[in-house]
Structure 1
Amino acid sequence: MTRFDAPAPDAPAPARRGRPSKKSAAGTGDTRESILDAAEDLFSKHGFYGVTIREVAREAGVDTALVHYYFGAKRALFDAVFLRRAEVWNAERVDAVNRYAREAGPEGMTFEGLLEAFLRPPFEWSLKGGPGWKHYSALVAQTNANPTFGGETMTRYFDPAARRLIELIKLMMPEAREVDLYWAYHNLSGALTLTLGETGRLDRLSGGLARSGDLESACDYMVRFAAAGFRAVCGSEKTRPESPAA
């Protein structure tokens, strides 16, 4: 993963402005990745509206025209940042739940086993994938809570994995109402992205007893919490608590 070191004191002068030549733009892909890394870092700290193309170019050490050459407008750059790791993250989650379902069989699946398979990949990437994955986790947390375009972005990149999880839960609990399944997943999604954002809120609230950076423990707690939540929310009509009177 890319390290974000401070620039050398005698950094070379920026490249000449204007559209880059085809020769300079058709490199090995390192420049494109550097731009994505820089944009990911900045978006994760300042949000979509708090970052300019010029700032991304300066962070990446390239000319602004090169950012436009590769990505066009800022929203296209943001989408490229979001897609790059979403493909890895969600492919691993779908593979993990499919493998668990195949190995456990319809009668052997449990909420704990299924949710462990679904949740472990994003926690593992954030734990061991380097600073880029930390930035990405924070960016996903911001985006999931963004009322302007967050819902559309999360739908585009994350719904296939979410729908596969819900399909498998339906096999385990065929009596569950679909509306309950979606509400249960909604609560899990919010808890997951907030936790992966590592905001430090938990540290301050608990006086240091629990640490938001302790992602190993966070995943274990979330599996248990979400399993109990799905059972409580999606139980059969006989076991589901009645709604309180209006």
Structure 2
Amino acid sequence: MPDGRMNRRGEATRQRLLDAAEKLFAAKGFHGVTVRAIAKDADADPALVAYYFGGKRELFDAVLMRRADILNQIRVAELDACEADAGPGGPSVEKIIKAFTHPMLERSANGGPGWKNYFALVAQITNSPEWGGAVMTKYFDPIATRFLNAIKKTKPDWRDEDIYWSYHFLSGALVLTFAETGRIDNLSGGLCRSSDIASVHERLPKFIAAGFERLQRAD
């Protein structure tokens, strides 16, 4: 078999393993999934997990990195465009929040099951003391810092402490959004749906921007 064809088959197998791991980790967590279960879901030999990734932990890291790299590049581009399109006073806080959250919300709504699984996994590990701090630092701190710097630049007189707390609350809102628990469906009697990401995107930036601004008031 020509090398190019073998390489394509190998890459296809590798991607199936990543997709299967992403789905199963999102559903059951890291400790609830075996290498054998991942390989079965991917229709692959379990030995290929070690061959392509080294082990389950390395596969877990590869799952997180695959979409984080794509997502963070898009978020940086949207934040750059937001600042470039603004007037002399800089963009509004709401527009900065919208630029930061739009790539995630858009892909959750329209990116297919792979992105849904990824965001569910991120929501799960963000809430985990075992994984949350280390994983967020490794994959998402640079883009979070980029976002925070944009806020500080447009609001140089704002208190840093309350900017960081506001970001903390924004992170919590995103985690709950991506978990899609269905709780709001029950509370609202079906008026609202946790899977309605378009409605989240319409409301979340306004809500969070108001929170940022309210915390900065002295009273």
Q: Which amino acid aligns with 1:207?
A: G
Correspondence for 1:184: 166
Whether 1:70 and 2:52 are equivalent positions in the alignment is yes
Segments of 4+ moved more than 3 angstroms: 23-28
1:150 corresponds to: 132
Residue in structure 2 matched with residue 222 of structure 1 by the alignment: 204
Is contact 1:25-1:66 (8 Å) kept? no
CA contact (8 A) 1:106 1:172 kept: no
| Separation in 2, partners of 1:177, 1:49 | 41
- C-alpha displacement of 1:85: 0.6
Aligned to 1:46: 28
Selected match of 1:35 from 13, 17, 29: 17
C-alpha spacing 1:55/1:196, structure 2 compared with 1 (3 Å) = same
CA deviation digits over 1:133-162, x for unaligned, max 9? Answer: 110110010011011121110111111111
- Greater alpha carbon shift after TM alignment, 182-191 vs 198-207: 198-207
> In the alignment, what sits opposite 2:218?
240
1:58-207 correspondence to structure 2 within 5 Å: 58-207=40-189
Gaps of 5+ in 1: 1-22, 242-246
Identity across the alignment (%): 49
Q: Match for 2:117: what amino acid?
A: H
Pairwise CA RMSD: 1.6
Q: Which runs of 5+ in 2 are unaligned?
A: none
Post-superposition offset of 1:28:
4.4
Amino acid at match of 2:21: A
Looking at structure 2, the residues matched to 106 and 49 of structure 1 have their Cα atoms a distance apart, in angstroms, of: 51
For residues 13-56 of structure 1, the C-alpha deviation after alignment (integer angstroms, 9 at most, x for no partner) is xxxxxxxxxx9788441000000000000001001111111110
- 1-side partners of 2:187 and 2:128: how far apart? 24
Amino acid at match of 2:218: R
SS of equivalent to 1:210: coil
- Deviation at residue 74 of structure 1 after TM alignment: 1.2
Bigger radius of gyration, 1 or 2?
1
Pairing 1:209–2:191 present: yes
TM normalised by structure 2 equals 0.93
- Structure with the larger helix share: 2
Shift of 1:108: 3.9
Q: 1:195 to 1:24 in 2, by over 3 A?
A: same
**What's the counterpart of residue 57 of structure 1?**
39
